[in-house]
A and B are shown apart, each in its own frame.
Chain A
Amino acid sequence: MTTLLLIKQMLLTIYGKYEVYITPLLKFVLAFITLFLLNSRLGYMEALNRMTLVLIVALMCSFMPINFIVVMGALFSILHLYSFSMECAAVIGAGFLLLFLLYLRFSPKDTLVVVLLPICFLMRIPYVIPISMGLIGGPASAVSVACGVIVYYLLHYVTKNETVIASMAEEETAAKFKFIIDGLLKNKEMVVVIAAFAITVIIVYLLRRLSVDYAWTIAMIAGAVVNIMVLLVGDLIFDTNQSLLSIILGTIVSFLIVLVLQFFVFYVDYSRTEKVQFEDDEYYYYVKAVPKVTVTRPEKKVKQINSKRR
């Protein structure tokens, strides 16, 4: 454990020292992954599929504010869809516009979730996001998570029904429109996932704020269990045909990832908890102070063996 703590300390020092370079690098990597995945999943517009373009845009994202990645991702997906079918682009574009106008305006902090969640969905570990947002965010993060789920299912629906949409004749604009909107609005799986994730975020948030020992761990476990339960109950009621194995495995892997997050953000030593009481003119204070676990880096001693020549 000490080694791990030392590594954590070292990473934090490195990050603090080279933050100017690391933050843009991380943004670049995130933008690259986002655009690359969009191209590989949608990829209808040849011009956007060029690696040079992806690299240039990712480079641009690296020194722009982080929300720029969201804008670029939305732009890429709409352009791809436009060259696939105009109706798709219109519907998805309208969906993005609504998300932006009605919610993302409010919470610029959480916008990143909208990008991260679809990526995690593709990696089959979407459950990381609701649990970690419950840990580091607030109850309002539930809405951001819901937005992320909607974005994923909007794009997923198009890729899933690619052949059906493509086989509809050009002149059947109205029918295509109806087919796409129907598919999106009547997507029960999406509703179930939104409900599960929103409940998870709120439960994790409520539990981790409790003043009991191991609140974060309790919150994480409860969140993971509730998530599985709601998804399964939703599956039973709405017949969403989700694979039980992938839900459970995904949740376990997600849980492990969130453990790492907890190690970095909230690693405390409950055995040294102190409870103190004091008062001032206006209040009584019942304070519970839990110390963070830290280690001091062993200092390297350089012993001079050869004596200095005079």
Chain B
Amino acid sequence: MLNEERVVLMTKMASYEANEGRKNLDIGSYFRNDYIGWQVLKSIISATIAFVVVFAMYIFYDFEIFMTDIYKMDLLEFAKNVLFWYLATVGIYAVIAYAVYTVRYSRAKKSLRTYYMNLHRLAAMYKKSSPDSRQ
């Protein structure tokens, strides 16, 4: 016999799995620190690429002056300066990424908890109805 409540629950869960849940299930398959660590690492890589792009633009912007100055300037000081800006950029960006992904992880977990609760409910419904269906 068709169990209406069960069908409604299953439809809801299937729609969750297909849409919002897909991402959450993906996130849920990681441990918290693994997920956040991996995302922060990716963010650090993108921040590094972004920094390289900006740095290249900065050099090209005054390329001629830079080329004439390069013999005169204190290269060690310049490198230190660049390193400082690099670390500052990456550091700030990593902190932002950490905050964003921490929130995302806890949200995904929360929504998955509801999903798993529904899964249990569904299993319970099946259990309850299984003796009837066998008859």
Contact = CB atoms under 8 A, between A and B. Distances in A.
Contacts of B100: 106
B99 to A, nearest CB: 11
B47 A178 contact: no
B46 A181 contact: no
Contacts of A106: 97, 100
The dominant DSSP class at the A interface is helix
Given A105-B43, A106-B100, A174 B60 contact: yes
A177 B65 CA distance: 14
Contacts of B47: 101-102
A244 interface: no
Contact of B57 (A102, A105, A174, A181): A181
Contacts of B53: 94, 97-98, 101
A177 B60 contact: yes
Interface residues of B, number: 18
Interface residues of A, number: 12
16 contacts: A91-B57, A94-B57, A97-B50, A98-B50, A98-B54, A101-B47, A101-B49, A102-B46, A105-B46, A174-B60, A174-B62, A174-B64, A177-B60, A178-B61, A181-B57, A181-B61
Interface of B: 42-43, 46-47, 49-50, 53-54, 56-57, 60-64, 93, 97, 100
Interface of A: 91, 94, 97-98, 101-102, 105-106, 174, 177-178, 181
